[in-house]
Amino acid sequence: MGTTHDQVYDVAIIGGGSAGLSAALILARARRSAVVIDAGAPRNAPAAAAHGLLGQEGVNPLELLERGRQEAASYGARNLQGDVHRASGSAEDGFTLVLNDDSTIRAGQLLIATGVRDDLPSIPGLAERWGRDIVHCPYCHGWEIRDQRIGLLATGPMSAMQALLFHQWSEQMTFFPNGLEFPADQLEKVRALGITIVPGQLHGVDVVDDRLTAAVMDDGGQVGLDALAVPALTTARLDGLDELGVDVAENAAGVAIVADPAGHTSVPGVWAAGNVVNPGMQVSESAANGARVAMTINTEMVFARADRTIADSSNTVGA
């Protein structure tokens, strides 16, 4: 039998990346009891540094989150290392989370900030180098690979446009359609910028001294590269959370939770923030989104308390 924590938290936050921890910081400072349960695998963990982050430029992603945990804890938020295996309940009766060690957490509101899983094409060598010289986002990695030989491996309908974007960082660009068809006007733009288009299927990558050196094609030909951009498809990390019944939808990048800008999902009392809602959000945006959603959670709890107090006093007057 696992431990059942006696406390019923105001808010339980599943996922302690930038979105979840930022929400915990705001909620704890708003004098709400908040617990963050985190499995410890933020999406950008394979990268050595997080870029484009004002005031924290180049910080190690895991170091950033450790600071965030300490900041939230300094105002009373509780950080638990663990994996939520099951979530159930409702806004009326409260929510219950079961963790991987069978312990149980209860809370009045639930915030899902579990991020996404990046699904790479099953080509040998890509996963091992992910976040190093196999990259997905020019704003995260573009500066570090500027003026180098960059390839872009097509994975979906946006890929020709993504090749154009990466060209802003290097004129030595190669586009691999990898068997996908693209509209003529998009290919015209790709050619107009001098991006080389290489037909055929990408079979693997060549690595020398722990550095990417080439893309290997299915006919055995090689194309020299220093970095390969792979726009991975993304899937909201919702394992074990299906009982809650939140709506999800497919977008151009994969599958995400449907939530409004304030973080309301289709289920009352269940909120969502960060990449699990929008995989395009950077660290700063995910943190800002977590903060905004936390402010709305707190505000709605304040209003709900006022409504309950009015209802209770009218019942007393009428008694």
CB 309, min distance to ligand FAD, A: 35
| Residue pair 140/47 in contact by the 8 Å Cβ criterion | yes
10 counts as binding ligand FAD under rule CB under 6 A: no
- By CB under 6 A, tell whether 52 contacts ligand FAD: yes
Tell me: does residue 51 bind ligand FAD (CB under 6 A). yes
| Alpha-carbon torsion angle 13, 14, 19, 21, nearest 10 | 60
Query: Which of 140/205 has CB closer to ligand FAD?
Result: 140
3-state secondary structure of 135: strand
Q: Interaction with ligand FAD in 204-233: which residues (CB under 6 A)?
A: none
Q: Judged by CB, which is closer to ligand FAD: 44, or 177?
A: 44
Work out how close the CB of 64 gets to ligand FAD at its nearest, in angstroms, rounded to a whole number. Answer: 10
CA distance 17 to 41: 8
Q: Look at strands 248-251 and 254-257 and give their pairing.
A: antiparallel
Least distance to ligand FAD, CB of residue 300, Å: 21
Distance CA 260, CA 46 (A): 30
CB burial of residue 181 (10 Å; 0-12, 13-18, 19+): exposed
- For residue 120, give both structure tokens: 């790479």
Q: Which is nearer to ligand FAD, 15 or 151 (CB)?
A: 15
Pick the stretch among 177-185, 258-266, 277-285, 291-299 that binds ligand FAD (CB under 6 A). 277-285
208: its two tokens: 């020398």
Of these, 79, 109, 114, 235, which contacts ligand FAD (CB under 6 A)?
Answer: 114
Contacts for 242 with CB less than 8 Å, ≥ 6 apart = none
Residue with Cβ nearer ligand FAD (46 or 204)? 46
| By the rule CB under 6 A, 234 interacts with ligand FAD | no
User: Directed axis angle between helix 18-29 and helix 283-318, to 10°?
Assistant: 40
Rule CB under 6 A: is residue 83 a binding residue for ligand FAD?
Answer: yes
Q: From its phi and psi, is residue 265 left (phi > 0), alpha (psi between -120 and 50) or beta? A: beta
* Distance (Å, whole) CA 275 – CA 257: 9
Task: State the minimum distance, in angstroms, from the CB of residue 306 to ligand FAD.
Answer: 31
- Indicate whether 263 belongs to the interface with ligand FAD (CB under 6 A): no
Q: Which stretch binds ligand FAD (CB under 6 A): 9-17, 191-199, 219-227, 249-257?
A: 9-17
> Given candidates 109, 174, 265, 286, which one binds ligand FAD under the rule CB under 6 A?
286
Q: What is the phi/psi pair of residue 84, to 5°?
A: -75, 120
- Report if residue 199 touches ligand FAD, rule: CB under 6 A: no
Q: Of residues 14, 150, 228, 291, which one binds ligand FAD by CB under 6 A?
A: 14
Buried-exposed string 5-25: b where 16+ CB fall within 10 A, e elsewhere? beeebbbbbbbbbbbbbbbbb
Are 294 and 22 in contact by the 8 Å Cβ rule? The answer is yes
Report if residue 34 touches ligand FAD, rule: CB under 6 A.
no
79 binds ligand FAD (CB under 6 A): no
Q: Which of residues 119-138 bind ligand FAD (CB under 6 A)?
A: 130-131, 137
- Residue 13 binding ligand FAD, by CB under 6 A: no
**What is the binding site for ligand FAD (CB under 6 A)?**
14-20, 37-44, 46-47, 50-53, 83-84, 113-115, 118, 130-131, 137, 140, 237, 239-240, 274-275, 281-284, 286
